Amino acid sequence: MTTLDLRTAVAGALHRVAPEADLDQVAPDADLREAFELDSMDFLTFIEELYSRTGIDVPERDYPLVTTLERCVSYLASRSGPAPTR
Partner 1 sequence: MPSLGADMDAGTVVEWRVGPGDEVHRGDIVAVVDTDKADIEIESFDAGVVQRILVPVGVRVPVGAPLAELGGGMPVAVPPVPTTPVAAIGAPVAAAPEPAAALAEPPAAIAEPPTLVPAPDSATISPVLRRLATHLGVDLATVAGTGPGGRVTREDVESAAAAPATAVAAAPSTRSGEHTGMRSAIAALMSRSAREIPHYHVTTQIDVTTAMRWVERANLDRAVTDRILPIALILKATAVAARQAPELNGLWIDGGFHPAERVHLGIATSLRNGGLVAPALHDVDTKDGASVMRELRDLVGRARAGRLRSSEMADPTMTVTNLGEQGVDAVYGLIYPPQVALVGFGRIADRPWAANGMLGVRPVLTATLAADHRATDGMRGARFLGLIDHLLQEPDQL
Rule CB under 8 A: say whether 13 interacts with partner 1: no
- 59: helix, strand or coil: coil
Q: Of 15, 84, 1, 73, give the one whose Cα is nearest residue 49.
A: 15
CB of 85 to partner 1, least distance (A): 30
Rule CB under 8 A: say whether 79 interacts with partner 1: no
Which x/- pattern over 18-57 shows residues binding partner 1 (rule: CB under 8 A)? Answer: xxx----------------x-xxx--xx-xx--x-----x
One-letter amino acid at 5 equals D
48 burial (CB, 10 Å; 0-12 / 13-18 / 19+) is middle
The binding site for partner 1 (CB under 8 A) comprises 18-20, 37, 39-41, 44-45, 47-48, 51, 57-60
